Structures are given as C-alpha cells and as structure tokens.
Structure 1
Amino acid sequence: MCEAVEEDLYAVLGASPSDSIQQLRHRYQQLALQYHPDRLGGGSSSEAESAVKRFLEADAAWRTLSDPSTRRQYDLQRRARELKQNWPVDSTVYLEDMTWEQDERVYTYSCRCGGGFNVSEEEVGEETQRRRQDDEEEETEEEEHSGVVVCCDTCSLSVCVTWSLQGNTQSFECQ
C-alpha cells in the first residue's frame, strides 16, 4: 500500500495535474481499452499479469482523480511531497503576472518546457492568512520574507510565487 502512495497517479494515466476531468477520463478510457482483462488475447501469462496490473493501477488512479474531493486531497499530498524534495528555485514569479483561470479558480504561468505552474485561489488565501497571523503573533517591525514554491506540472523546474499582502507594503519573496 505504501508503494501506491508514492506513485504519481497522473503519471499512471499519462496525464498532468493541469488536465481537466474530461482529459483524465479520456486517458483512463484509452488505458482501460488497452489493458482490460476481457480484451486480452491469448498472450503469455506474464503479459496477461502485467496488463491486469496496469489496468488495476489505472483504475485506482481514475477512482482517486475522478472525484473532485479526493483529487484535491491527493494534489495537496503530492505538492507537500514535491516541496520536501528541496528543489532549487529557478526564478521568482509575481502573482499579478500570472494568468487567472476563472473556471478552475487557479493562477497559471507557462514554463519554458511547455508545462505550467499552477497556484489555486485557495492556496493564495491560506498563505496570505497564515502570513498575517504570523505577523500579528510576532509583532515585529522587522521584515521577514516567505513565499510559495510551485513546481512545474511537466518538468523539474520550480518557481517562487510572490505577492503583496493587501493593506501591507510587505511582499512575499523566497529566501
């Protein structure tokens, strides 16, 4: 069971975190048609076992990613794992320079590899609230800096997304 937790469910489907539910469904259906046990010919038993295993992995990934609640929970766990990897920050991106996607309620920024960096509206709100609480608790005049590190959904590049707190001239920056 631990092995499944470490496996990237998006990679199992051949998808990326920025894919819509329809795109994920399409990728799942392609894999199901290819690897479903009922569709297997008279191949060797090791090939059949491998195909069944692949089908079960795709099915488990789809069950998690098809439900908005479990997908969000998985995405948060995935992001936490990525941030623990201590990848170097390649650049700083200001939130106001990112594109707002109204339908998905997320800020996006294109990566040079063709992938993208995504920060949800909720993440921005949570980080802003956390930062304000920290400032209130510390009650210092000293400027401390923080930021949100976001990994590309396709490659290993990461950026620090920064923004100004409303009513405060202090801005978030990566250290």
Structure 2
Amino acid sequence: MSAALQLFNMCEAEKKDLYAVLGATSSDSVQQLRRRYQQLALQYHPDRLRGECSLEAQSGVKKFLEIDAAWRILSDQESRRQYDLQRRAQELKQDWPVDSMVNLEDMIWDQDDCVYTYCCRCGGGFSVSEEEVEEETQRRQQDGEEDGAVEGQHGGVVVCCDTCSLSVYVTWSSHRKTPRL
C-alpha cells in the first residue's frame, strides 16, 4: 500500500475533510491546492514553532501533520480520485432529515406502475416501487440472518417528495403480504 493511501486510511479514520484542512474546495486545481498547502505548511511548520510553549508547539505539529497528509492525498491524482469517490459515497449514505413516518399499508398501490404512492402536503407525492421494497426487505433479511435479528423486524426507506424538499421514512414489516389489488 502506498504512503498516500496509508495516510488516506489514517485521515479516514479521523473523518477529516481533507479539502477543509487545506482551506480549499473539491473543485480547486492541483496548483490551487499546492498554494494553500505551501501557505499553511510555512505557517505551521515545526521549525517555525520552536520558541512557542510546548502546548502550542504540539498543536502546531499536529496541524502541520494534518496539512501534510491532506496534501499527499490530494496532490496525487489517483489517491485524490479515490478520496473523492469515498467522500461522495459517504455523502450518499448520510441520513436525510425525515419529516414524517409513513407505513407502507397507508400508501396507495398503483397496479399499473407497480409503485406505492402517498400525497405530500405541498400537493406533490412520495413514491416507492415494489422493486425497492423487495430489495430493502431482502437486504434486511440477509442482515438479520448475519446479525441473528429477531422475527418481525421492519424494513424502511427514506423517500423524497417529487415536488418539494420534504422526505418521509416509509416502513413495513419484513414479512408483509403482497401488494393490494
């Protein structure tokens, strides 16, 4: 494993935003990142902090190491790509603010489109396909087998309104019946 990837794993364990460490954004070029790195490295380099009290020096060294690790990862095209992909995956996993919970049984089954729908207060709607319900149910059952989960566990997905920014958490029993006709 390369040194950059080892640093990547170390930073991932600490959940650091490497762009924020450099005071940069993911859209910055390598040259922009290099400038930010050089400015911060000069500011926090351990040689510049020799006259400081030990707590300030320790804090400066820690900051310098974070800056250096961020630069090593973001300056290498491949490790930056891997970091960006992992960062995006984490963003997609993050929980949405849920405005309400809805039971699948309270939703309307649309036989033609094979989706469950529920009206939003804005006039729009929430919809979840039978396929999504089946996939989540299967995933939960597999996780339950591995974790030794008990019978009657509930499945669920977050569904966003097709018109506004509201979202609901749709729940159902993992042992539910087939859709209503």
Normalising by structure 2, we get a TM-score of 0.47
Q: Could you say which structure has the larger radius of gyration?
A: 2
Normalising by structure 1, we get a TM-score of 0.49
